[in-house]
Amino acid sequence: MTQTITAWILILIGLYSVAAAIGELRRRGTWARIFWELERSRTLQFLIGIMCMVIGATIMLVNPYNGLDLQSILVTILGGLILLEGAAFLAFPDWMIHLSRQVMNSRSAIWGWIALCIGMALMVVGYVRMLAS
């Protein structure tokens, strides 16, 4: 049972990444528009921060941590990073948006393909783990 929790988390994070990537690749500039809207709305910044904190904390609390299992470690680290991202969005939304814009800039197609590949890899790893358990 504990192996499938980690597998499902990997699959779902991968699915999120694939869906977001496809959205950007289908309609270039989608992520830029999201950042544009986010930059102008303190309410959206707050909601993004809260959502990330809740999602990251939930991943960390639900995932059965096993220091000998690399996938379990990966999921725990991802959950922690998502939690920290949410806290940073609440405390320093202007810095987070500026950092995101610097990273994304006009290379959204490259980031879209990277997100697609990472998402597919996470889904495959999660699926293989589920089959093995």
Give residue 108's pLDDT.
Answer: 64
Q: Which residues contact 119 (CB under 8 A, 6 or more apart)?
A: 13, 14, 15, 16, 17, 18, 19, 20, 21
Give residue 103's pLDDT.
Answer: 72
Looking at the 3D structure of the chain, how many domains does it have?
A: 1
* Crossing angle for the helix pair 30-40 and 42-62, to the nearest 10 degrees: 110
List Cα–Cα distances, 119 to 2, 81, 90, in angstroms: 22, 16, 26
Give residue 30's pLDDT.
Answer: 84
- Domain hosting 67: range is 2-132
Per-position pLDDT tens, the chain of length 133: 667 999 999 999 999 999 999 999 999 888 888 888 989 999 999 999 999 999 999 999 999 888 899 999 999 999 999 999 999 999 999 999 888 877 776 666 888 999 999 999 999 999 999 998 8
Give residue 124's pLDDT.
Answer: 97
